[in-house]
Amino acid sequence: MFGTFTGLQGSLFDDLNRLQRELDESFGRWPYTAQLRSPGLGGWPPINIGATPERVDVYLFAPGLDPNELDISIQQNLLTIAGQRQIDRGDESGWYRTERYSGEFRRALTLPEDVDPERVDASYRDGILHVVLQRREASQPRRITVS
């Protein structure tokens, strides 16, 4: 069916794909498709979330942050982490490509209903923010012995 377009495929479609990539880069869109190990559009910094019956662990991977400038809050089972990373790019260089994120960010995560907002700890080490959210004791499994 498309056999008549074989002469155009090598030039016209390649040009259209190149134009699309250039427009995406010009307007700030992430120029690559999201892959298994790369965050998608709007997904910086990347986050891992783990859970056990006792707690929920949130790991935010963001080197170069000032931990004192992070804004971490919980409201109605919504954890919000906001901050900013400034990167000195130097004035004498003309950059034609930058892949390291710079600027403000905000990530919001819905938490399980049984997380206790009064029992939260956060630490930042080696570029990783670790937020530990304890679950309410009433919601944890309790072993009942039979007499």
pLDDT digit string, tens, across residues 72-81 = 999 988 999 9
- CATH number of the 38-88+101-147 domain: 2.60.40.790
Residue 128 has pLDDT above 90, yes or no: yes
pLDDT tens digit sequence for 60-115: 998 888 899 999 999 988 999 999 988 776 666 677 777 777 788 899 999 999 99
**Res 21: pLDDT:** 75
Q: Give Rg (Cα) of the chain.
A: 23
Domain positions in the chain are 1-31, 38-88+101-147
Output b/e per residue, 85-110; b: 16+ Cβ within 10 A: beeeeeeeeeeeeeeeeeeebebebe
Residue 35 has pLDDT above 50, yes or no: no
